[in-house]
Amino acid sequence: MSEEERPKRRVRYSGKNPRLFHQKYKEQQPERYGEDVEKVLASGKTPAGMHRPIMVREILDVLALKPGQTVVDCTVGYGGHAAEMARAIQPGGRLIGLDADPIELPKTEARLRATLGLEGTDSLLLRRMNFAGLPQLLATEAPGGVDAILADLGVSSMQIDNPARGFTFKFEGPLDLRMNPQRGQPASALLAKISAKELTALLKENSDEPYAERIALAVVEARNRNALTGTTTGLARFVREICPGSDDTVRRVFQALRIAVNEEFNALNIFLRQLPECLAAGGRVAILTFHSGEDRRVKHALKAGLNAGFYSSIAPDVVRVSAEELRANPRSSSAKLRWAVRA
């Protein structure tokens, strides 16, 4: 048989183009692919599996940390802010870090202990818990209150970028949206039983959705004839059909569901109410918010605390990201920083 007559063998998939999300991004292994991480950062994007801390300089200015202090990062995430805070309070300081996420927190703890050289010390205490429970933790860890508290609200880039967690509508995934997938119910379960009236209220309250009623009625109607899929891209397609145009509506619907399944406003309200008792005299708090529902609550709570004499001063206005940071990290665009000093 000549070369021409021989049947052509099917070209086999060489494996060069990764099929699965976790194979796709080299940046998921920063220790092996440091150069790739640098390139992604330089292009203004966030490497997969990483979170870029926002307004670090402004937050450190506000918190005015000193060696020996005890401080809390309520939302450790990837640990960017926590690392800077931990460095600023050495020698002799102690950082208490919290996060609700049982998937990311162990990775962050290992990374922080290694990079800060704090293995085997009690200068770093990390707890998987909701920051609404901070006073109970401080009752044993820092009974007189702490010197500084940071809360960087919302979700981390690691959570958003991992399709298996259901936070993004850009990739196919289960419609979950929980920071702690071991607690509560996924967004798909919420949509499976919510009434049109409740969904309308939820969309209005959680993301000021102008088409709340139209979306809620369509969702419940589709669900009742089993036409609603339990996936991220399925819901996004459905919302785009009801409200064609940009993806702003899809984004707001996902934000509203995320706030609902994580009971974010409830946790924030409790945290803000208890905040003064968690701070020692002269202690400082910095809070980063990412949408009006969060900022409104923080603004009112700090103002009420000032009027009640709990705080000696509060941020006269919100602090926004610099033009330089916005260029380098577009995900920071909606961030607003507020602060207060305990009387």
For ligand SAM, the binding residues (CB under 6 A) are 51, 53, 75, 77-81, 98-101, 130-132, 152, 154-156, 179, 267
Nearer to ligand SAM, 219 or 335 (CB): 335
Nearer to ligand SAM, 75 or 168 (CB): 75
CA atoms within 13 A on the CB side of 123: 23
Give the amino acid at 297.
R
Smallest separation (angstroms) from ligand SAM to the CB of 153? 6
Nearer to ligand SAM, 165 or 342 (CB): 165
Helices (H), 89-186: 105-116, 134-141, 157-161
Residue 279 φ/ψ, nearest 5 degrees? -100, 140
Nearest to 302 by CA among 335, 334, 275, 331: 275
Smallest separation (angstroms) from ligand SAM to the CB of 210? 26
Smallest separation (angstroms) from ligand SAM to the CB of 107? 11
Nearer to ligand SAM, 85 or 228 (CB): 85
3-state SS assignment for residue 343: coil
State both tokens at 315: 């941020």
Nearest to 157 by CA among 79, 269, 55: 79
Nearer to ligand SAM, 167 or 169 (CB): 167
Nearer to ligand SAM, 100 or 285 (CB): 100
Nearer to ligand SAM, 154 or 249 (CB): 154
User: Alpha-carbon distance 340 to 130, whole Å?
Assistant: 21
Report which residue's Cβ sits closest to ligand SAM: 77
Smallest separation (angstroms) from ligand SAM to the CB of 209? 21
The DSSP annotation for 65-79 comes to --TT-EEEES--TTS
Smallest separation (angstroms) from ligand SAM to the CB of 267? 4
User: Alpha-carbon distance 59 to 61, whole Å?
Assistant: 5
Smallest separation (angstroms) from ligand SAM to the CB of 263? 8
Residues 6+ apart with CB under 8 A from 75: 98, 99, 131, 150, 151, 152, 153
Smallest separation (angstroms) from ligand SAM to the CB of 110? 14
For residues 239 and 215, the answer to whether their CB atoms sit within 8 Å is yes
Helices (H), the chain: 21-24, 34-42, 56-63, 80-88, 105-116, 134-141, 157-161, 187-193, 196-207, 212-224, 232-242, 248-261, 264-278, 292-307, 323-328
Smallest separation (angstroms) from ligand SAM to the CB of 68? 23
Nearer to ligand SAM, 79 or 283 (CB): 79
Residue 338 φ/ψ, nearest 5 degrees? -130, 155
